[in-house]
Amino acid sequence: MPHAVTLQEVADAAGVSVATASRALSGKNRVAADTVARVRAVAAELGYRVDPIARALREGSTRIVGMIVPVIGNPYFAQLVDAVEHELHRAGFELLLADSHGELAEESRRLTVFGDRKVDGIVIVPSHRQRSAGALRAVGAEIPLVQIDRSAGVSLADYVGVDNEIGLGLALEHVHERGARSLVYVGADDVTSSGVERWNAFDRTVDRESVAVGEPFRGDFSLATGAAAADALVARRELPDAVIAASDLIALGLIGRLREHGVEVPRDLLVTGFDGTELSQVLAPTLTTVVQPIEAVAADAIGFLLSRIAGSTAPVRSSRVAPTLLVGGSTAR
Amino acid sequence: MPHAVTLQEVADAAGVSVATASRALSGKNRVAADTVARVRAVAAELGYRVDPIARALREGSTRIVGMIVPVIGNPYFAQLVDAVEHELHRAGFELLLADSHGELAEESRRLTVFGDRKVDGIVIVPSHRQRSAGALRAVGAEIPLVQIDRSAGVSLADYVGVDNEIGLGLALEHVHERGARSLVYVGADDVTSSGVERWNAFDRTVDRESVAVGEPFRGDFSLATGAAAADALVARRELPDAVIAASDLIALGLIGRLREHGVEVPRDLLVTGFDGTELSQVLAPTLTTVVQPIEAVAADAIGFLLSRIAGSTAPVRSSRVAPTLLVGGSTAR
DNA sequence: AAGCTTTGCGTAATCGATTGCACTCTGCGG
DNA sequence: CCGCAGAGTGCAATCGATTACGCAAAGCTT
């Protein structure tokens, strides 16, 4: 083990004290220009790199940001992690990742650990619309925190997510245009903010004058929910013209299971998804879906977080990014 | 900010010195039983938790493990990260995640950062079969490291992956049984070890006496490669009876694009995938695929890593986990 | 009962970097 | 020629925990 170079060694080699060496390298105090040059040269030659742990102990800052997602296995969250990680690295931060598996206890345990480890900031997709609030408030009082995709209260901490109202509007308008006059919503329950918002958006936006709205089916955002919804739909007397799904996974699970029942999309039924994951664009039928601008969401969220880390005490902000509609085969006539 | 409780405060409150307090809490030195009880009680009451940073500085150990994957957006790697994270948490470690985007420079930069941050161990999916070796060797000399899924040399560091020979064997046997007498392999190029191994396994295992083998198509493991292969296949004079794909993404990309060309799977052509990702089992046709036992791979890999972290100097190990075949619609007759 | 071991605990060094304070030295004004 | 400003450095404290060492008191041996 080549024994990492310490500041002391650099100082000795340059013939100065550690204090001066530190100042020369950080460059924010008055040190003679030639001393700076000499120390820098020696440091480079010896391959000196600051010990982030020692610095963290002294500074109380780690240049690490923690992120908690409900389930990394969902491609949407995988893409979100990817985007967040990219933004963080650009800013010189590392990403400490944790998976709450949608469980409140796990989530709050992870938050505590992040606090103990003195991460500089936290990016979280809260697992619960209301019950996540307590832990978030507690940790958020100590550490800059931004909610992404879902929220546990927009007054709690900065939040960035997609505008679900616009998204559902796009989907509804599209299927209406394609002639659908009876609809069923298949989405997630009221545990998450997205679950609530998308349902409300659907409920408020749909024009009950001109279309018939069937009993909604609500579970979570998974393939399994889509499949279960398919079973339920088939069991009903008649099929709607279109199903508005609250996630791509739901839509895919639904389409797959419907086919097993002999119901073909879009022949017998139109379907729209939500998220715009890459995989939804591959198999037939390709999905008509509301595309979330993941990079933009991530960029905004990290922007908020970094400004908080930099000390901003601006009022809590909440930002909604507009999604777009990608028309695929699942709503073809 | 409620000012985190320090060991000094606990010691004062318990009427002992920090040294004794530390020993009482760690429990591995001789301290009077009642002192231990008193200190523990005070610590619990005050809500004391050790500062991981201070401890890390002193101990040189962080209880953090770094992981580098080529692309978290690939559902297979997302599942792998999930499994690894789960195993690590069980053992009390945190996960520092980085994405190399398949780039060597990025990979080696991340490795260096992990070294600086003094992670206790590293889990890596090397981006390059050969060129990743240098950086791995350098870092591996200092920090316990395990290669997972892909390798840059099994003599370099412990390795855990799937047995590609068995996997390809299963796929070949299956399509042969289903009557396929002409085959084309669509897989990844020689940049990664999986790319090489799967091709070699195919090449060696396929029985050229009884089946005709067409020109293989090789790119990476992505959807795009599958799509490109579909174009290439259609451009050839005639289609093979079956395509053996080296990943689920390739298979899905292939099937989707073939359909655009009017070629239906399995009607005109059988297709097998590799990985056993959840999504491959949803849309029609469901994929016949070689299922990787991801949990087992992750558990083995973390087992290796933890024993290294515990100080094992056993010879470098390399472990192959046997996959199984999941028969779906893509090879139905 | 003297001497030796063991037990229990405190003092202080240590990990590596940052920074407040104080000191020296040069230069310039009065 | 003296005094003072300010530039350039070094000393030492600090972040919070762990641990080698040493000392005092208690227990044991013969």
Q: For residue A18, what are the domain limits?
A: 7-50
- The nucleotide whose C1' lies nearest the CA of B55 is D17
CA distance, residue B316 to nearest chain A CA (Å): 18
Return the pLDDT at B85. Answer: 95
- In the 15-54 segment of chain B, residues within 7 Å (Cβ) of strand D are 18-19, 22-23, 25-26, 28, 48, 50-51, 54
Four-point Cα dihedral A70, A86, A143, A127, nearest 10: -10
* Identity of the residue numbered A74: N
Between A19-28, A39-48, A181-190, A191-200, the lowest mean confidence (pLDDT) is in: A19-28
Assign residue B174 the CATH number of its domain. 3.40.50.2300
Whether the beta carbon of A51 falls within 7 A of nucleic chain C: the reply is yes
Return the pLDDT at A284. Answer: 67
Inter-chain CB proximity B253 and A282 less than 8 Å:
yes
Residue A252 maps to a domain: yes
Structural tokens at position B125:
């999916």
Whether A155 and A90 map to the same domain: the answer is: yes
| Tens-digit pLDDT profile for residues A5-22 | 999 999 999 999 999 999
Residue A135 maps to a domain: yes
Would you say A63 and A93 are in contact if contact means Cβ atoms under 8 Å apart?
yes
Average pLDDT over residues B210-230: 95
Residues of A in contact with B278 (CB under 8 A): 73, 223
H-helix or E-strand spanning residue A291: strand A288-291
| Cα end-to-end span (Å), chain B | 67
Whether the beta carbon of A50 falls within 7 A of nucleic chain D: the reply is no
Residue A59 maps to a domain: no
Which residue in B79, B141, B282 is closest to A73 by CB distance? B79
Average pLDDT over residues B165-177: 97
Return the pLDDT at A161. Answer: 96
Whether B21 and B94 map to the same domain: the answer is: no
* Cα→Cα distances B253→A58, B202, B233, B291, Å: 52, 20, 13, 18
Task: Using the C1' atom of nucleotide D19, identify the protein residue whose alpha carbon is closest.
Answer: B19
Whether B280 and B300 map to the same domain: the answer is: no
Residue A170 maps to a domain: yes
Query: In B112-137, which positions are buried (b, 16+ CB within 10 angstroms) versus exposed (e)?
Result: ebbbebbbbbbbbbbbbbeebbebbe
Return the pLDDT at B281. Answer: 86
Give the three-state DSSP class for B225: helix
pLDDT averaged over chain B? 93
Residue A57 maps to a domain: no
| Torsion-angle region of B63 (φ positive above 0: left; ψ -120 to 50: alpha; else: beta) | left
Closest by CA to B118, choosing from A172, A88, A94, is A94
pTM to 2 decimal places: 0.90
Task: Using the C1' atom of nucleotide D6, identify the protein residue whose alpha carbon is closest.
Answer: A30
Quickly state the pLDDT bin for B1 (edges 50, 70, 90).
Answer: low
Structural tokens at position A121:
């900031």
| Tens-digit pLDDT profile for residues B49-58 | 999 999 999 9
Give the largest CA-CA distance in chain A: 88
Return the pLDDT at B42. Answer: 94
Judge whether residue A1 has pLDDT over 60: no
Structural tokens at position A256:
């797959």
CB within 8 Å of A173: residues ≥ 6 apart = none
Residue B289 maps to a domain: yes
| Tens-digit pLDDT profile for residues A138-179 | 999 999 999 999 999 999 999 999 999 999 999 999 999 999
Closest by CA to A306, choosing from A77, A56, A314, A27, is A314
Inter-chain CB proximity A62 and B53 less than 8 Å:
yes
Inter-chain CB proximity B82 and A95 less than 8 Å:
no
CA distance, residue B237 to nearest chain A CA (Å): 25
Task: Using the C1' atom of nucleotide D13, identify the protein residue whose alpha carbon is closest.
Answer: A58
Whether B168 and B157 map to the same domain: the answer is: no
Average pLDDT over residues B226-233: 96
Inter-chain CB proximity A279 and B252 less than 8 Å:
yes
Whether B192 and B300 map to the same domain: the answer is: no
Structural tokens at position B2:
């409620």
Whether the beta carbon of B182 falls within 7 A of nucleic chain D: the reply is no
Whether B216 and B286 map to the same domain: the answer is: yes
Question: Strand C: which bases are under 7 Å from protein Cβ?
Answer: 7-12, 14-20
Residues in chain B, overall count: 333
Whether B298 and B157 map to the same domain: the answer is: yes
CB within 8 Å of B266: residues ≥ 6 apart = B285, B329, B330, B331, B332, B333
Return the pLDDT at B218. Answer: 97
Whether the beta carbon of B18 falls within 7 A of nucleic chain C: the reply is yes
| Tens-digit pLDDT profile for residues A275-304 | 999 888 887 688 999 999 999 999 999 999
> Residue B170 and residue B168: Cα distance in Å, rounded?
5
Quickly state the pLDDT bin for B332 (edges 50, 70, 90).
Answer: very high
> A245: which DSSP letter?
E
| Tens-digit pLDDT profile for residues B11-26 | 999 999 999 999 999 8
Residue B55 maps to a domain: no
Return the pLDDT at A73. Answer: 85
Residue in the structure block whose two tokens are 């990608």: A326
Whether B196 and B310 map to the same domain: the answer is: no
Inter-chain CB proximity A141 and B79 less than 8 Å:
no
Return the pLDDT at A33. Answer: 86
Whether A117 and A265 map to the same domain: the answer is: no
Would you say A154 and A213 are in contact if contact means Cβ atoms under 8 Å apart?
no
Residue B1 maps to a domain: no
Judge whether residue B33 has pLDDT over 90: no
Average pLDDT over residues B185-202: 97
Whether B189 and B112 map to the same domain: the answer is: no
Whether A142 and A188 map to the same domain: the answer is: no
Return the pLDDT at A278. Answer: 87
Question: Strand D: which bases are under 7 Å from protein Cβ?
Answer: 7-12, 14-20
Whether the beta carbon of A23 falls within 7 A of nucleic chain C: the reply is yes
* Cα→Cα distances A295→A292, B96, B162, Å: 9, 21, 33
Which residue in B51, B53, B252 is closest to A283 by CB distance? B252
Judge whether residue A131 has pLDDT over 60: yes
Burial class (CB in 10 A: 0-12, 13-18, 19+), B273: buried
Structural domains in chain A (count): 3
Return the pLDDT at B2. Answer: 62
Return the pLDDT at B225. Answer: 96
Å separating the CA of residue A32 from the C1' of nucleotide C29? 25
Which residue in B82, B113, B279 is closest to A94 by CB distance? B113
- In the 33-92 segment of chain B, residues within 7 Å (Cβ) of strand C are 33, 35, 54, 57-58, 60
Whether the beta carbon of A35 falls within 7 A of nucleic chain D: the reply is yes
Return the pLDDT at B284. Answer: 67
Whether A100 and A246 map to the same domain: the answer is: no
